[in-house]
Structure 1
Amino acid sequence: MLRKVSLALAATLMMSGMALADPIEGNWKTASGATAAISGSGSFSITLKTGKHAGKTIGSFKASGGGKYAGTITDPETDKTYNGKATLSGSSLKMSGCVLGGLICKSQTWSKL
């Protein structure tokens, strides 16, 4: 009987973990109109799915808590990589990349598809 309860508990925990995907995961419409896919668990990869640079990986982020993420973001036009931050608010994701220790930053807001 203990074995059956243990198996049921393990199955429940595995299924609940799958159902609780991070809200940053999924497809996002970028400021340029392209679609970017964010996938992963704990560490997230951003790949462009449509547009001029389709198939290109442009970022890597880790969750820092409270809907905030930190990592790197690459400008697909120039191939330059910057320190990046992302903040999730509902179905919007504010992305920013900075140089010179955060003195010069650019940001854009993406929408969840």
Structure 2
Amino acid sequence: MKRILAAFVIVATTVGSTYAAEPIVGNWKTEAGTTAEIGPCGGGYCITLKTGKHAGEQIGTFSGKGGNYAGKITDPDDKKTYDGVMTVSGDTVKMKGCVMKLFCQSQTWTRL
């Protein structure tokens, strides 16, 4: 039993540190002034708004590693979902969402 428990602790620690090492994980201040939390979910990362009128809403899912991520982002006001990319550099994340890869909008968020 002790051996099984020790193996579980090692696996849980390894999995947790894999996500923790990713620079995207954490709380971010959006351009709108709200707080968004990016954390592990499934095999990637989810963006959930923590403050503002859309608090509690999941607005994105991304996968990737090492500061470069791709996925889907939803505008919480109009509920439209876009293809997106995110790049983390230090305490900023630059996000770009596009429709048909032609019409794109960008935002920069800062780490809290």
Mapped partners of 2:6, 2:52: distance in 1: 46
Q: Which runs of 5+ in 2 are unaligned?
A: none
Structure-2 change in CA distance of 1:106 and 1:13 (3 Å): same
Query: Cα offset for 1:23?
Result: 1.7
Mapped partners of 1:23, 1:68: distance in 2: 9
Number of aligned residue pairs: give it: 108
Mapped partners of 2:9, 2:62: distance in 1: 29
Match for residue 77 of structure 2?
77
Mapped partners of 2:75, 2:8: distance in 1: 43
Correspondence list, 1:89-104, <5 A: 89-100=89-100, 102-104=101-103
**Which structure 1 residue ranges, 4+ long, deviate > 3 Å from structure 2?**
7-17
In the alignment, structure 1 residue 55 sits paired with structure 2 residue 56: yes
Q: Specify the code of the residue in structure 2 equivalent to 1:31.
A: E
Correspondence list, 1:1-113, <5 A: 14-20=12-18, 21=20, 22-40=22-40, 42-63=43-64, 65-100=65-100, 102-113=101-112
State, as a whole percentage, how many aligned pairs show the same letter.
53
TM-score scaled by length of structure 1 = 0.81
Structure-2 change in CA distance of 1:50 and 1:61 (3 Å): same
Query: Cα offset for 1:11?
Result: 5.4
RMSD: 2.2
Q: Which runs of 5+ in 1 are unaligned?
A: none
Mapped partners of 2:75, 2:94: distance in 1: 15
